[in-house]
Amino acid sequence: MGLYDPILKNIVVNGHRTSMNMERVYWEILDEICSRENLTRGELLTLIYRRNSTHSNPEATLTSAVRVFILSYQRVATTESGHLLARHGNGAPMLGTPLELAEDRNIPSKHKSQEVSAPPQ
């Protein structure tokens, strides 16, 4: 199964059982966020549900709210040094994504300095 394959999962949100269908990559990132934040999947989904229904856009589905949360969470964590390490900004936005092709890696860097150290692990 690939990253695009939708996966239907039974979940508990705000104390209620329901199901959610998202692509595999979203489930993987959601679980990474849960691990990083020391929350269960149900706890994080409940937080998203509660914030979405009271503060943001109560008409949005939970699935849409989760996708927007994941992208926003990752976007906030993005740094300029991370972009440089990923070689972003060179006219090859597909680098490091499932849509990357071999020729993308042959595009020369437009950055004056690619001397960026990897973030500490």
Q: Quick one: pLDDT at residue 110?
A: 67
Do you know the residue count of the chain?
121
Q: pLDDT per residue over 36-91, tens digit each?
A: 999 999 999 999 998 887 766 667 789 999 999 999 999 888 888 887 777 777 77
Domain that holds residue 23: 6-77
Residues 54 and 67 occupy one common structural domain: yes
Q: Does residue 96 form part of some domain? A: yes
Residue 118 has pLDDT above 60, yes or no: no
Please give the structure tokens belonging to residue 80: 């300029």
Mean pLDDT computed over every residue of the chain: 83
Q: Which helix (H) or strand (E) holds 17?
A: strand 16-23
Query: How many percent of the chain have pLDDT more than 70?
Result: 85
Give the mean pLDDT of 106-112.
Answer: 68
Q: Quick one: pLDDT at residue 79?
A: 86
Contact 19, 66 (CB under 8 A): no
- The burial class, CB within 10 Å (0-12 / 13-18 / 19+), for 93 is middle
Q: Quick one: pLDDT at residue 24?
A: 94
Residues 51 and 88 occupy one common structural domain: no
Number of domains composing the chain: 2
Residues 46 and 85 occupy one common structural domain: no
- The values of phi and psi at residue 16, to 5°, are -120, 135
pLDDT band, residue 112 (cuts 50/70/90): low
Give the mean pLDDT of 17-41.
Answer: 95
Least confident of 10-19, 20-29, 46-55, 107-116: 107-116
Cα separation of 108 and 91, whole Å? 9
